[in-house]
């Protein structure tokens, strides 16, 4: 397959698309959205056919990896049909989903059959009360059941995602690692990103760096630098004596912009070139003005890449740098 035709001004080739299929979610995680979120009217959300048209345009331009995100992608009706169409694309090396796990007890087998290769499942706490506090939903048992359903469905790589916050869940770092090791799962620890205004905590106080997380893990486990890569921003370490890989996503302490190979499309059809910038291109308006014009869509994507910034500038102070919540952008 030829190299990606999507090249930004800094020579980075875009081979990875994160495609949001909905802004809705059945959880209300405190770092991701407010309790009283106002979701986009359904008419403003891309149809399944439009989502496939976007994915098709990116694939034709050399994108090899697609991660389906939300909100919570598995609450989108008809999603399995879209996944089957994407799973049938031989050009794709990887089709993955980021999910909170709540729908996996019923959907895991269908996702595997559709061609989804990898799952990322959010899990910030193993304590029921704390899980309910962080997600504003008392559904830890449902998520744990979903993890087991995914394992039983035959997924070869399942990764947990944990956003670590000092004083809120950082005392569970080792418990989460042990949980992953016992089940042959991978896990990534994520520094909270300053997206959207939150009232549940002060980010400059709860910030916990990846270096600190790794130090705590190394107090119990031997970590060996790994060559494992999924095309995303995680830097991986192998837990000696186990199958578990531990990733660290460090937008603050270890900026990963230099190797950025991804863009995002929101559920409303906005092409987001950088998570840390507000600018976006309205693909939905273009597609609805010119339905079926795939060449025009591809040209718009190629031209848009010339506006991709070199890096983001996240800070840990209280100033909101990007107004939109993560749930509006897509994982």
CB crowding 72-81: b at 16 or more within 10 Å, else e = bbbbbeebbe
Cβ count near 281 (within 10 Å): 20
Is there a binding annotation on residue 16?
Answer: no
Is there a binding annotation on residue 234?
Answer: no
Is there a binding annotation on residue 67?
Answer: yes
**Residue written as tokens 């331009």?**
61
* DSSP state letters, 159-190: EEEEEEBTTTTGGGHHHHHHHHHHHT-EEEEE
Is there a binding annotation on residue 71?
Answer: yes
Is there a binding annotation on residue 311?
Answer: no
Angle between helix 79-87 and helix 48-60 axes, rounded to 10 deg:
20
First to last CA, the chain: 27
**Residue written as tokens 């919540």?**
325
Is there a binding annotation on residue 328?
Answer: no
Cβ-count burial of 291 within 10 angstroms (0-12 exposed, 13-18 middle, 19+ buried)?
A: exposed
Residues 10 and 70: their CA atoms lie apart, in Å, by 29
Residues 57 and 235: their CA atoms lie apart, in Å, by 29
Is there a binding annotation on residue 164?
Answer: no
Cβ-count burial of 277 within 10 angstroms (0-12 exposed, 13-18 middle, 19+ buried)?
A: middle
Is there a binding annotation on residue 274?
Answer: yes
Is there a binding annotation on residue 122?
Answer: yes
Pick from 309, 208, 209: which is nearest to 257 by CA? 309
Is there a binding annotation on residue 264?
Answer: yes
Is there a binding annotation on residue 25?
Answer: yes
Phi then psi for residue 328, to 5 deg, are -85, -20
Is there a binding annotation on residue 236?
Answer: no
Is there a binding annotation on residue 85?
Answer: no
Task: Please enumerate, by residue number, every residue annotated as part of a binding site.
Answer: 18, 25, 29, 31-32, 67, 71, 98, 122, 159, 193, 257, 260, 262-264, 274
Task: Please enumerate, by residue number, every residue annotated as part of a binding site for GTP.
Answer: 18, 67, 98, 159, 262-264
Task: Please enumerate, by residue number, every residue annotated as part of a binding site for S-adenosyl-L-methionine.
Answer: 31, 71, 122, 193
Task: Please enumerate, by residue number, every residue annotated as part of a binding site for [4Fe-4S] cluster.
Answer: 25, 29, 32, 257, 260, 274
């Amino acid at each position: 397959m030829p190299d990606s035709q999507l090249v930004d001004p800094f020579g980075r080739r875009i081979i990875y698309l994160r495609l949001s299929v909905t802004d809705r979610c059945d959880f209300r995680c405190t770092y991701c959205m407010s309790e009283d979120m106002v979701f986009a009217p359904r008419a403003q959300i891309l149809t399944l056919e439009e989502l496939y048209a976007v994915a098709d345009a990116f694939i034709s331009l050399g994108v090899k990896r697609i991660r389906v995100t939300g909100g919570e992608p598995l609450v989108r009706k008809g999603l399995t049909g879209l996944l089957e169409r994407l799973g049938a694309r031989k050009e794709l090396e990887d089709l993955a989903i980021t999910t909170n796990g709540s729908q996996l007890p019923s959907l895991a087998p269908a996702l595997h059959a559709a061609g989804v290769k990898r799952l990322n499942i959010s899990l910030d706490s193993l304590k029921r009360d704390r899980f309910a506090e962080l997600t504003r939903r008392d559904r830890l048992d449902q998520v744990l059941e979903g993890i087991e359903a995914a394992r039983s469905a035959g997924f070869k790589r399942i990764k947990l995602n944990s956003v670590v916050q000092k004083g809120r869940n950082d005392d569970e770092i080792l418990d989460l690692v042990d949980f992953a090791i016992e089940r042959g799962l991978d896990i990534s620890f994520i520094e909270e990103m300053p997206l959207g205004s939150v009232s549940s905590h002060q980010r400059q106080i709860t910030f916990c760096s990846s270096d600190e997380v790794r130090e705590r893990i190394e107090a119990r486990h031997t970590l060996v630098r790994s060559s494992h890569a999924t095309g995303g921003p995680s830097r991986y370490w192998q837990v000696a004596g186990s199958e578990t890989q531990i990733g660290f996503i460090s937008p603050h302490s270890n900026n990963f912009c230099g190797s950025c190979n991804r863009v995002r499309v929101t559920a409303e059809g906005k092409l987001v070139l950088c998570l840390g910038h507000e600018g976006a291109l309205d693909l939905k308006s273009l597609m609805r003005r010119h339905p079926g014009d795939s060449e025009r869509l591809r040209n718009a994507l190629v031209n848009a890449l010339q506006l991709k910034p070199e890096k983001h500038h996240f800070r840990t102070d209280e100033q909101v740098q990007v107004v939109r919540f993560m749930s509006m952008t897509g994982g």
